Structures are given as structure tokens and as C-alpha cells.
Amino acid sequence: MNITTTSSFLGESQLRYLSTHTPFYYTPRTALVSWLPDHLFALAVPVIAYWALSIYFHILDVSGWKWLDKYRLHESEEVKSRNLVSKTEVLKAVIVQHIIQTIVGLYWVEKQPTGAEVDHIANMLRLAGPVARFVKFVCGEQYGEQLLAINGAQALYTLYWWAIPAVKFLLGMFFIDTWQYFLHRAMHMNTYLYKKFHSWHHRLYVPYAFGALYNHPFEGFLLDTVGAGIAEWVTQLSTREAMLLFVVSTLKTVDDHCGYKLPWDPLQLFTSNNADYHDIHHQVIGIKSNFSQPFFIHWDAILGTRMTRKDIELRRQRQQQKQHKAE
């Protein structure tokens, strides 16, 4: 790494700090897998993650362990009786979607510098000027210079290695949520779109993990593949940042269809958009609700399409009261 630029507040000790400190997640390796470039590995990892988590939940499904019954959203026999498509057909459709997304990805992704190929010091030093101006604007010229002289390197380190990647990742999540919410809602509000495309997915009245991407091929391409690609482009994610976003998004999608409400599942704990929330959408009573996926429920909450188990119970109570009055 070459230091090509400097700034008045960065002395020798601060430059040394920047050149010797990297976060735990960083590796100088130019490829995470020695025999596969990162931009191609980024296409393989979501598929691997999909089937790894799906197999885990399938093992739970067929285990027969009685202690799991209290965590199941539906009985096993209900899956067999109420779903309108066989698991073989689901398997075929998901494989087709993975083939399509991989082929599209081969045309979309570009090889980028990774690991030690990236001049991280130069990138941090490019931020030094804007950081200095911001700190002096907020804190005043004199006090700002004192802060920068003491903590300038740490501020650049935190901004470059943690704050900027976190913001980009969150923006990527927000874009995917936004893309999927409005397209998903349109698929339900437009009769043609629902019958032609989205009704495929709702043949799974009782969802299960490896059926998460059981869609009409066109819907799968538009909703998942295109949405993820545009999110990566809009937020200017690096190859490894995009890889993480794609993996988390994939795992979350599988988990949302797993059919279990597990108290130890981290994917069900960090957001209320979980398997129980999405299961409501797959039922007749909630089919025009809970369009948000895969991360958060803000669009449902803002636009009035959120439905909870409590809402369902209240609706049923009102219906029963009407029936009693009619009698």
C-alpha cells in the first residue's frame, strides 16, 4: 500500500496507525477461495447458503422430534394436504431460478480489486480533507484541530472500515426491501400479475424452507435477481460487501419460509419480519397484508398493510360477535 496523499492533521504516528490497523473481518488475500475469484465466489455463496439452511430445516421437518412441535407454525400433515404443488416440482423450480440468477450474475458482476490489491491507506487519506472540514465546522477551528491531532487517525479508521460499509449495507437492505415490497404488492393488487406469475408462489399455502424461491421464473428474475443486482449497483458495494448482502438476504428469505418460530434463531430475533410474520401472508386472511420482505416491516407499517396474530384474533372475535347478534 502506497501513501500518496497526506493531510495536515496526520502526523507520522497517525499514518503508522492507519497502516498497521485493520478490522478483524479484513484479509489481504486477493481471493477468499484460492481457486475461485471473489466475483465468481459471490455468485456461488448465496446458492450454497440457500441449500445449507434449507437442508437444516428439512432435517427438522423429517426428524420426528416431538420437542419441535411447539415451535412449528403448522402440523406436518397440513403441509401435505394444503399445498397445491409437490416438493419435486418446487425443487425443480428453485434450481431453475438459481441457474437463471447465476447466468445473469456472470454477465453482471465485474472483477474488482480485493484484499491487498486495494490501496486502503490512499482511500482513507482521500477522506481526510472532508473529515477535517466537518470536524472544524462542528467543533470550531481551534478545538477541531486539537481533536484531529489526537484522534484523527482513529476517526478515519472508524469511518472507512466501519461506518461507510455499515451505511452502504443498510442502504442495500433498504433498497431490496423497497423493491420487493412494491413489486410484491403490485403482484397481489393486479389480477393479471397475480394469476400469471405470483400465484405460483402461493401454491405453497404452508411454506417450507427450500420453497422460499419457488416462483414463476419471470417473477424470480425480476423480484430477486434484478432487485439484488440494482441494490449492489446503487450502493456501490465492493465485491465482498455485495457477497455479504446477498448471503444475508438469501438466508433471511429461507428463514422467513421455514415454518418454525424458533426463540434461538438470530434471523428471527433481529427483526419482526420473520417466519411467523410471513406465514400470515400465505394464509387466506392475510394474503393482502404483510408484503414486506425480507428484512424489515417499515413499508407495511407506513402504508397500512401490516397484520399481526393479534389483528387476526380481533377480526375473528368481531366476526363471532356479528354472528351472535344475527342469531
pLDDT in tens, 220-260: 999 999 999 999 999 999 999 999 999 999 999 999 999 99
pLDDT computed for residue 78 by the predictor: 62
State yes or no: pLDDT of 2 exceeds 50. no
pLDDT band with cut points at 50, 70 and 90 for residue 327: low
**Residue 314, C-beta contacts closer than 8 angstroms, at least 6 positions apart:** none
Q: Which residues of 47-85 are buried (b: 16+ CB within 10 A; e: fewer)?
A: bebbbebbeebbebbeeeeeeeeeebbbebeebeeebeb
Tell me which residue of 258, 305, 256, 297 sits closest to 278, measured CA to CA.
256
pLDDT at 112: 93
The DSSP line for 131-188 is HHHHHHHHH-HHHHHHHHHHHHHHHHHHIIIIIHHHHHHHHHHHHHHHHHHHHHHHHH
Report whether pLDDT(6) > 60. Answer: no
The SS3 assignment for 29 reads coil
What's the pTM value of the predicted model, to 2 decimals? 0.91
pLDDT tens digits for range 109-139 = 889 999 999 999 999 999 999 999 999 999 9
Tell whether the model's pLDDT for residue 76 goes beyond 70: no
pLDDT tens-digit map of 97-113? 999 999 999 999 889 99
What does the alpha-carbon distance between residue 252 and residue 133 come to, in Å, rounded to a whole number? 40
Q: How far is CA 316 from CA 177, 281, 285, 307, 308, in A?
A: 30, 16, 10, 13, 13
Do residues 90 and 211 lie in contact, with contact meaning Cβ atoms separated by under 8 Å?
yes
Residue with cell 459471490: 42
Residue 147 CA to its chain's centroid (Å): 37
- What DSSP designation does 222 have? I
